[in-house]
Amino acid sequence: MIDELRELAKYKNLLMQLVLRDLKVRYKNSALGFFWSLANPLVQVATITVVVKYVMRLDIPNYSAYLLGGYLPWMFFQYALLDSSQVILLHRDLLRKVYFPRELLPLSVVVANLIHFILALVVFFAYLLFYYIFLHGSPILPTVLWLPVLVGLQFLLLVGLTFVVSALNVFYEDTKYILTVLMNVMFYLTPVMYVSELVYTRLPEAHRTLLFKLYLLSPLNMLTEAYRKTMLPAFHGGVRGEQIQSLPLDYGMLAICAIVCVLVAVGGYAFFNARKWVFAERV
Amino acid sequence: MKPAIQLHSVTKIFDMIREKQTSLKSAILSFRHARPQKLVAIKELSFTIDHGETVAIIGRNGSGKSTLLRIIGRVYKPTGGSVEVDGRMSTMLDLGAGFHPELTGRENIFFNAAVMGLGTAQVRDKIDQIIDFSELNDFIDTPVKTYSAGMLMRLGFAVAVETDPDILLIDEVLAVGDAAFQEKCYKRIDAFKAAGKTIVFVTHDLEAARAVASRTIWFDKGEVRADGDTQATVKAYLDCRL
């Protein structure tokens, strides 16, 4: 694997070119360009806010901010995985013609989506600054410094998962369909439109702490909550008269999450490497 | 000095995919029975190509020529044996492989050169040379989708040759382009040869082989039928077909 990484380093310009090409082609013929990648989450978030706040009556002050705090990482997760399922087939002519480290293709997908995610985060931060600091005079949260770590962990997680998804889809094109279904399910299972505190209060009281730790073992659950808790203030809210308190960030579980993300990245890379030289024969 | 390309008893066996067996259902259904049929594309092949040689590979359709070129180009891993290559390789790319229709000629040059393993600074150094050679100065900032087949070929050849590789691999593309540009390509190939560089190309065009290759390998059913002086090999190939 060390040799593979060394070879990869030689081709870093190709990685850059693949990412650039992806971004250029995506917005080439649209007048508003990057705006569209912001419009989609904003419309989604507005819709979910109306439903959750006024129909389901989840009452968290400034709920949209908590929703966005979970929704932006979710978008990064979803689009990186969905794009990666197609990336090998999309470059089939290139694969069949010329040598280059194959892992650059899924990597470029994650990097391109990472750029979108970071740009969206910048806009989100401008909003947070305006709302909390400017309008409410709250202090800046020092935990925001965790953000690069969280983004790094999600990046590793996605690199590992996209390696597996992109390789599998070469052999079984069902992968992308299964993935689409899974994504729909995952969206509801992950605390994106609700907060994990709601899950916590619904767990049987006797084993609540242990079960909640198991729940946070899923890196996606853990990361979503960590993004929220580091970027946004603790809240006191309620749902239909029932009080909900925000829980502190579980740093122990975050450490375990970090280990899981690294393992997924390494495992995914090994899975990909074992198959990558057959792609040209199969696509 | 090490030879440019060395093949040591290379064998390539493909799993034949009868119907497109890329669905989960067929994978499960054929899990126990029906081992995939094997196709031996290259059998125990050994040869050496020295630096400075220009080698044409000829043969009928399905003889394994392109497979051979892909083995040399590290696109396929051989099933058995090994390939040693000394120096930087580049492959001439065509539309579909290396060019994105929505991007301009210039943007495509940057991408294409990166595929060959060049860094950004190296591409910047060579970009003017590449554009000059392709004679596409007036169109270089328009999307490639507006290019004709000949223009694309010129661009592909320009990138492949002007990025200064030690070994150039070409799969059946020299035939496109007008006579004047073809002449220019042949001249560039001669200069390339004179600089001690190596070219391996697959072709159906025996005239192209005669024009540029000093050595020709006639490849048939995964094996070498003849290998040597171009005139002699081409003659043997033609005699066999008659």
Residue B153: CATH number of its domain: 3.40.50.300
pLDDT tens per residue across span B137-157: 999 999 999 998 888 888 988
Q: Determine the residue among A11, A13, A276 to mutate to test chain B binding: the one whose Cβ has the most chain B Cβ atoms within 10 Å.
A: A13
Q: Decide if B96 and A14 are in contact by the 8 Å CB cutoff.
A: no
HSE-CB at A249 with a 13 A cutoff on CA atoms is 21
pLDDT of residue B185: 83
pLDDT of residue A14: 95
pLDDT of residue B57: 94
If contacts are CB pairs under 8 Å, which of residues 29-48 in chain A contact chain B? 29
Identify whether the C-beta of residue B101 lies closer than 8 Å to the C-beta of residue B147: no
Residue B43 lies in a domain: no
Q: What is the mean pLDDT of residues B107-130?
A: 93
User: Which tokens hold the place of B42?
Assistant: 């290259």
Q: Tell me how close the Cα of B16 comes to any Cα of chain A, in angstroms.
A: 10
- Give the C-alpha separation, B197 to B212, whole Å: 13
Cα-based angle B213, B51, B192 (whole degrees, multiple of 5) = 60
Residue B18 lies in a domain: no
Residue B225 lies in a domain: yes
Q: Give every strand in the sheet of A242-245, ordered side by side.
A: A58-59, A236-239, A242-245
CA-nearest residue to B95 within chain A is: A93
If contacts are CB pairs under 8 Å, which of residues 5-24 in chain B contact chain A? 14-15, 17, 22-24
In the three-class reduction of DSSP (H, G, I as helix; E, B as strand; rest coil), residue A192 is classed as: coil
Whether A7 has its CB under 8 Å from any CB of chain B: the answer is no
Identify whether the C-beta of residue A19 lies closer than 8 Å to the C-beta of residue A83: no
Closest partner residue to B102 (CB to CB) among A14, A25, A98 is A25
HSE-CB at A178 with a 13 A cutoff on CA atoms is 12
If contacts are CB pairs under 8 Å, which of residues 49-68 in chain B contact chain A? none
HSE-CB at B236 with a 13 A cutoff on CA atoms is 17
Chain A environment of B125 (Cβ under 8 Å): none
Chain A environment of B103 (Cβ under 8 Å): 21, 24-25, 28
Q: What is the mean pLDDT of residues A125-140?
A: 87
- Chain centre distance of CA A150: 10
pLDDT of residue A31: 73
pLDDT tens per residue across span A223-281: 999 999 999 999 888 888 888 888 999 999 999 999 999 999 999 999 999 999 999 98
Identify whether the C-beta of residue B101 lies closer than 8 Å to the C-beta of residue B133: no
Identify whether the C-beta of residue A106 lies closer than 8 Å to the C-beta of residue A272: yes
Residue B8 lies in a domain: no
Pairing of strands B167-171, B198-202: parallel
- Chain centre distance of CA A173: 23
Whether B208 has its CB under 8 Å from any CB of chain A: the answer is no
- Give the C-alpha separation, A74 to B11, whole Å: 47
The total of other beta-carbon atoms located within 10 Å of residue A251's CB is 10
Q: Tell me how close the Cα of B229 comes to any Cα of chain A, in angstroms.
A: 28
Whether B111 has its CB under 8 Å from any CB of chain A: the answer is yes
Q: What is the mean pLDDT of residues B152-177?
A: 83
- Give the C-alpha separation, A218 to B94, whole Å: 45
pLDDT tens per residue across span A3-12: 899 999 999 9
- Give the C-alpha separation, B139 to B141, whole Å: 6
Least confident of A21-35, A113-127, B22-36, B173-187: B22-36
Counting Cβ atoms within 10 Å, is residue B202 exposed (0-12), middle (13-18) or buried (19+)? buried
Residue B182 lies in a domain: yes
Domain ranges, residue B62: 52-78+88-241
Q: What is the mean pLDDT of residues B104-126?
A: 93
Rg (CA), chain A: 20
Chain A environment of B73 (Cβ under 8 Å): 97-99
- Give the C-alpha separation, A80 to A108, whole Å: 10
Residue B191 lies in a domain: yes
Say how many domains are in chain B.
Answer: 1
Q: Tell me how close the Cα of A33 comes to any Cα of chain B, in angstroms.
A: 15
pLDDT of residue A73: 97
Q: Which residues lie below 8 Å from residue A99, measured CB to CB, with a gap of 6+?
A: B73, B74, B75, B89, B91
Q: Which residues lie below 8 Å from residue B80, measured CB to CB, with a gap of 6+?
A: B9, B10, B11, B44
User: Which tokens hold the place of A74?
Assistant: 């979710």
pLDDT of residue B176: 58
- Give the C-alpha separation, A253 to A211, whole Å: 13
- Give the C-alpha separation, A201 to A39, whole Å: 34
Residue B20 lies in a domain: no
Closest partner residue to B24 (CB to CB) among A14, A94, A172 is A172
In the three-class reduction of DSSP (H, G, I as helix; E, B as strand; rest coil), residue B45 is classed as: strand
pLDDT tens per residue across span B155-164: 988 998 888 8
Phi–psi pair at B94, nearest 5 degrees: -120, 180
pLDDT tens per residue across span B39-64: 899 999 999 999 999 999 999 888 88
Tokens 């040209």 belong to A280
Q: Decide if B107 and A21 are in contact by the 8 Å CB cutoff.
A: yes
ipTM entry: 0.87
